[in-house]
Amino acid sequence: MSQETSLTSDQLWNAALPILAEHINEATYDAFIADAVALEYTGQRLRLGVSSDFARDWLQRHHAQVIGDCIAQVAQQPVQLVMETLPANAAPPSPPAPVTLPPVETPVPRAQPSSEMQAAPLNPKYTFENFVVADCNRFAHAAALQVAKNPGKAYNPLFIHSASGLGKTHLIQAIGHAIANDPERSHYRVVYISAEAFVNHMISSMRDNTIDQFRRNYRSVDCWLVDDIQFIAQIEGPASEEEFFHTFSTLYETNRQVVIASDCPPRHLQLMNERLRSRLEMGIVADLRSPDIETRVAILEKKALNEGVHLSRDVLEYVASKIESNIRVLEGALLKLCAYASLNQVEITRQLAEEIIGDYSTSHTDRRISLQDILDYVASELNCPAEDIVSKKRTQNIAWARQVAIYLARELTDNSLARIGQFFGNRDHSTVLHSYNKVQEAIEHDEQVLWLINDLKATFE
């Protein structure tokens, strides 16, 4: 008997789970993979029991390939995957058998209960008052103000697009604040959600058989602010687009306001549903462009004021001259400077600014950053050979360098998730999302990572 066939079905499946967690997005994993049961493994074929016909069809359609690949990786040979629906009252899966295969670093994500509405709270700083208006954003700002005054009437939908870090999220949340604080609209339901969270919520609602409630919830919103719509097409394909389209249409047809932010204009969105595209183009489409130097100075001044810091004109102009095309990075430089000055109890002078952020390269707005640039740079900064980063190796420092590179690729370039995944060692889009989220999480919890990313990004901006 060969070595592989000595694995039981449970052993095979339990060893494949952590790898699957790396390759399948969290919502799908929690909804359909976590409670799947390995029924039988013959050495050539694995029978997998899943909780519903829907789960079976969903996995077949979107994830059969990746599940098959992960199982084959553990079994060290091709395995035919057969998925079937478990009877409704099937016995609970037997406790997992001890796994004797090499451990994999990534923990399996915990299942999260799907809440009634997975809307995110608004950032209190993202108000119209804190938004500096200038030529680069005047039109989008005016449209946003009109929408806030007359939701559902003036411009519907409002579609705002720009490159990263130019104020889309700030502006659409400002609309949310204005409506939520309008005494005449105290009954309005304002919901801000990223397209990615919307799709994740949809998937978990399907799993929990609460899709009707999900639909009722989203289709009774008065002002729907959807961020980063570009991911709608990239996450799970037509089903999520379809659901989004119906929510959008219901709200639109009942004169409720829809505001959308995107990293590209509607015509460049990778959508399968042409009706959705034409609906998105039906209202006002406004872009945000890179601010000129005076605007950057004004933004810095406002941010510094909000932080309770006074900066001389000289310092403001120096910082503004260093970072041209991304306001988030501009803000990062300011915060770094303030943090340094307060830690060391020194005054912020031009000289200090030169020392602290002098190595931020001045950007050239027409410069296109390539994935190769990012790979080379991360390899040298994190001391990890480029060929390891694009390899299948999974040791901690290589995996981390890869995640950082993927994060930067998604933040700094216009490449699709699929293209980024392909470049960094033929990984699929859910791995790219997973890597991105890992780094994002680390940024939120670990100040060292925050500065690392801040500095890496600044070099490119």
User: Minimal distance in Å, beta carbon 427 to Mg ion?
Assistant: 24
Provide, rounded to whole angstroms, the least separation between the CB of residue 352 and ligand ADP. Answer: 23
E-strand spans in 43-153?
A: 45-50, 80-85
Question: Which pair of structure tokens corresponds to residue 82?
Answer: 């057969």
Give 168 or 201: the residue with its C-beta nearer to Mg ion. Answer: 168
Q: Which does 217 bind (CB under 5 to 8 A by kind): Mg ion, ligand ADP, none?
A: none
From residue 139 to residue 178, the character string flagging contacts with Mg ion as x (rule: CB under 5 A) and all else as - is -----------------------------xx---------
CB of 334 to ligand ADP, least distance (A): 10
Task: Name which of 62 and 168 has its Cβ closer to Mg ion.
Answer: 168
Beta carbons within 8 Å of 370's beta carbon, 6+ residues apart: 413
118 binds ligand ADP (CB under 6 A): no
**With CB cut-offs between 5 and 8 Å by kind, which of Mg ion, ligand ADP, none does residue 132 bind?**
ligand ADP
Alpha-carbon distances of 241 from 156, 245, 249, 269, rounded to whole Å: 19, 6, 12, 12
Q: How far is the CB of 247 from ligand ADP (least distance, A)?
A: 21
Which residues fall within 8 angstroms of residue 161, CB to CB, at 6 or more apart?
A: 168, 261, 262, 263, 264, 265, 285, 286, 287, 288
141: left (phi over 0), alpha (psi -120 to 50) or beta: alpha
Binding mask 164-203 for ligand ADP (x = CB under 6 A): xxxxxxx---------------------------------
CB-nearer residue toward ligand ADP: 24 or 145: 145
Segment lying near ligand ADP (by CB under 6 A), choices 53-61, 124-132, 206-214, 419-427: 124-132
Q: Does 28 bind Mg ion (CB under 5 A)?
A: no
Side-chain-side CA neighbours of residue 248 (13 Å): 28
Contact partner, 167, from Mg ion, ligand ADP, none, Cβ < 5-8 Å per class? ligand ADP
**By CB under 6 A, is residue 162 in contact with ligand ADP?**
yes
**CA–CA distances in Å: residue 268 to residues 88, 260, 272, 307, 412:** 44, 14, 12, 38, 18
Residue 166 binds what, of Mg ion, ligand ADP, none (CB under 5 to 8 Å, by partner type)?
ligand ADP
- Burial class of residue 184 in the structure, from the number of CB atoms within 10 Å of its CB (0-12 exposed, 13-18 middle, 19+ buried): exposed
29 makes contact, choosing from Mg ion, ligand ADP, none, with CB < 5 to 8 Å by partner type, with: none
Give the DSSP per-residue string, 123-147.
PTT-SSTTPPP-TTTHHHHHHHHHH
CB of residue 110 to ligand ADP, shortest distance in Å: 28
Nearer to ligand ADP, 14 or 173 (CB): 173
Q: Which of 17, 132, 193, 338 binds ligand ADP (CB under 6 A)?
A: 132
When CB distances to Mg ion are compared, the closest residue is: 169
Buried b (16+ CB within 10 A) or exposed e, 393-420: eeeeebbbbbbbbbbbbbbbbebbbeeb
Mind giving me the DSSP string for 250-289?
A: HHHHTT-EEEEEESS-GGGS--S-HHHHHHHTSSEEEE--
Separation between Cα atoms, residue 231 and residue 416, nearest integer Å: 9
Residues 347/308, Cβ–Cβ less than 8 Å: no
| Closest residue to ligand ADP in the complex (CB) | 167
Q: What angle do CA 223, 195, 112 make, to 5 degrees?
A: 105
Segment 310 to 329, residues that bind ligand ADP, using CB under 6 A: 327-328
Give 123 or 349: the residue with its C-beta nearer to Mg ion: 123
Residues binding ligand ADP (CB under 6 A):
126, 130-132, 137, 162, 164-170, 299, 327-328, 331
